[in-house]
């Protein structure tokens, strides 16, 4: 994750505890597993050249896996 992507997540959630709480709420509600994986996908990343992009589904899924897996040998893909 680039610093600019991390800043986008930090802007939305503030702390790691806030992000983990959002994942917990997502997993306990009416949301599907796919919804939880895509929680961060639409966050706006401000690029160095002044443009904007989304964090995207792939990186959102990797962050979700890294923060929610209970398997310490899980490979992040």
pTM, to two decimals: 0.87
Position 26 scores a pLDDT of: 87
Distance separating alpha carbons of residues 41 and 70, to the nearest angstrom: 22
Our CA angle for 5, 70, 66, nearest 5°, is 10
Helix (H, G, I), strand (E, B) or coil at 52: strand
Q: What integer best gives the mean pLDDT of the chain?
A: 92
pLDDT for 30 equals 67
C-alpha span between 67 and 45 (Å, rounded): 20
Q: What is the pLDDT of residues 38-64, one digit of tens each?
A: 999 999 999 999 999 999 999 999 999
56 dihedral zone (left: phi>0; alpha: psi -120 to 50; beta): left
């Amino acid at each position: 994750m680039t610093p600019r992507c991390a800043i986008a997540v930090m802007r939305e959630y503030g702390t790691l505890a806030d992000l983990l709480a959002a994942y917990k709420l997502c997993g306990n509600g009416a949301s599907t597993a796919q919804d939880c994986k895509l929680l961060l996908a639409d966050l706006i990343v401000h690029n160095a050249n002044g443009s904007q992009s989304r964090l995207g589904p792939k990186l959102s899924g990797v962050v979700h896996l890294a923060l929610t897996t209970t398997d310490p040998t899980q490979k992040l893909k």
